[in-house]
Amino acid sequence: MNWIVASAIMYCASIIYYLFVRKAAGEKINYRFSNIANFSIPAVLYFSINIAQHQNMLLPLNILFFIFLAALFLSYLGSVASYIAISIAPNAGYSLIIQKSYAVYTSIVAIFLFHSTITPLKFVAVLITLASTAFISISPGKKVNKANYLWVLLSFVSFFCFGSLRLTNKFIFTLGVPSTVLLFWTMMFVALFSIADFFINRKKVSTSISKSSLLTLVGIGFSVTFFYYFLQTAEFMAPNIGYVNAINTSSNAAFTLLVAWLFKDKLTKAKMFAVVTATIGLILLII
């Protein structure tokens, strides 16, 4: 498997994952339940995969502590900042644009950190893909005002956390930690943080979950397991991690289009043109 095939599977898994997230929002499932499913189910599945592959999951304490810090400060706190930013932004699309634009950050840092390569054409392709996705993701009608810019700060916190997490994971991989072992420890730590958060705030959360909502949470857990695995696989194999991050971001555009088709939303000619330019950006990335 090469990085392009892995990116394609990641792209599809991302769309399925966000469809389940959208379904969870429609069912009014508290985000703390979603967080637990988002990390605990992958932790169990990666543990099972490691056992089946006879992988040694015992890591040196210094590496394990490094993974713990990344899980806490980059994955968990980044996810919390992301949720709050999206919930208070005047337009969720604005926040997502900032958060998901870390492909530019990772593309440049990877050159110095991993001696990765990037041609001017590929960098332009990253920018085209991100700009087109941003245009598609923004919902019309809601404008940014000066009343509250906290969402901007939190969006940039998520931007830094998510981009740094991708770079950190690749660095840990270069230390000889197998991908599924790294994913297991990361998911397990974040699952523990999420469970602790749930119990601390249990009085604020209704514990009643319908069978339909439970299936939705299982769908979130299984789809995100595939997403994380193939995202990380593609990142470790690609000439530059930023290429994969740009493809990951572009899946938001495909998700927006799919939701518009499923719910019969109207797509403007401008957004359809943005779909074309996003596709051109993706083609330039993989050729």
In this structure, what token pair is assigned to residue 51? 């056992």
Residue 104 near residue 126, CB atoms below 8 Å: yes
| Among the listed residues 237, 271, 240, 210, the one whose alpha carbon sits nearest the alpha carbon of residue 24 | 210
Percent of the chain with pLDDT over 70: 90
Predicted confidence (pLDDT) per residue in 177-210, tens digit: 999 999 999 999 999 999 998 888 877 777 678 8
Percent of the chain with pLDDT over 90: 49
- Output the pTM of the full model: 0.87
Q: What is the pLDDT of residue 266?
A: 61
The set of residues, in sequence order, having a beta carbon less than 8 Å from that of 50 and lying 6+ positions away, is 57, 178, 180, 181, 184
Q: What is the pLDDT of residue 93?
A: 63
Q: What mean pLDDT do residues 75-85 have?
A: 87
Count the domains in the chain. Answer: 1
CA distance 157 to 45: 29
CA distance 64 to 69: 9
Q: Is the pLDDT of residue 115 over 80?
A: yes
CA distance 41 to 45: 6
Predicted confidence (pLDDT) per residue in 12-37, tens digit: 998 899 888 878 878 888 878 888 99
Residue 29 near residue 213, CB atoms below 8 Å: yes
Can you give the residue range of the structural domain that contains 216? 3-286
Task: Quickly state the pLDDT bin for 145 (edges 50, 70, 90).
Answer: low
Task: Quickly state the pLDDT bin for 148 (edges 50, 70, 90).
Answer: low
Q: Is the pLDDT of residue 223 over 60?
A: yes
Q: What is the DSSP string of 187-205?
A: HHHHHHHHHHHHHHTGGGS
Q: What is the pLDDT of residue 142?
A: 53
